[in-house]
Amino acid sequence: MSRTQAALTVYGMSSSGNCHKVRLLLQQLGARYQWHEVDSADGQTRTAEFLALNPNGKVPVVQRGDGRVLAESNAILFWLAEGTPFLPADGWQRAQALSWMFFEQYSHEPYVAVARFISGWTPEGSPRRAELPRLRERAQDALAVMEQHLQANAWFTGPDYGVADIALFAYTAVAGDGGIRLSPYPAVERWLQAVRAQPGFVAMPAPDAQVQARFSTSL
């Protein structure tokens, strides 16, 4: 039984880009899965039950029917996409896709996603807001790298849409929530529209106001 036929349980927070990556690929694969909402703002990733699944205390986490567990969003994408058109069969192209997925986690997400979090989930007087100028500057650097690539290429995964595009799409699509403008990057904006046009696409749900309130009062 393939991973797209076997039922999976996904532990995730719907307003998280890292979690949305997994949901988007599962939807586009037509996979059977159960979504278990985990409210990080309410401490649900720090319970003994959740830490038994992922000692790192973070979502997303995927649990197979046989009980085996996989964490880290891009590792989950890679596993789900194995043997599907979303991951190139050619070794060089697979490595290129992985390079963009590592770029997303080390040069993109730490700035785009964190700027979004601070802007939307912390109170106006939070000392963390002093980080925003630097985060936005580094986010612009990452977007400039993406823009340069997209001026000569349609996708990040290879000649076709796939896992690296999903990885980069999640937080790029909501960069404006962190005060990061996309208008200076027309190729990035065209690529975002191309991703949205893919069969099975689902948008990230808007953050729940109660979740935001719990975050802002706990920081």
Q: Give me the pLDDT at residue 179, please.
A: 97
The answer to whether residues 129 and 122 touch, using CB atoms and an 8 Å cutoff, is yes
Q: Give me the pLDDT at residue 125, please.
A: 93
Q: Are domains 8-81 and 91-196 of this chain identical in fold?
A: no
Reading the block at residue 208, the tokens are 């729940």
Q: Give me the pLDDT at residue 7, please.
A: 82
Q: Where are the domains of the chain?
A: 8-81, 91-196
Q: Which residue in this structure is represented by tokens 């802007």?
A: 119
Select from 3.40.50.970, 3.30.450.20, 3.40.50.1820, 1.20.1050.10 the CATH code of 91-196. 1.20.1050.10
**Amino acid in the structure at residue 92:** W
Give the separation between CA 146 and CA 188, rounded to whole angstroms. 7
Q: Give me the pLDDT at residue 206, please.
A: 80
User: Could you say which DSSP state residue 61 is in?
Assistant: E
Task: Please state which CATH class domain 8-81 belongs to.
Answer: alpha beta
R_g (Cα) of the chain, nearest Å: 17
Reading the block at residue 214, the tokens are 């719990």
Helices (H), 3-159: 17-29, 48-53, 73-81, 91-103, 109-121, 132-150
**Nearest to 117, CA basis, from 37, 62, 180:** 180
Reading the block at residue 120, the tokens are 């939307």
pLDDT tens series, the chain, 219 aa: 345 445 899 999 999 999 999 999 999 999 999 999 998 878 899 999 999 999 999 999 999 999 999 999 999 999 999 999 999 999 999 999 999 999 999 999 999 999 999 999 899 999 999 999 999 999 999 999 999 999 999 999 999 999 999 999 999 999 999 999 999 999 999 999 999 999 999 999 887 654 554 444 333
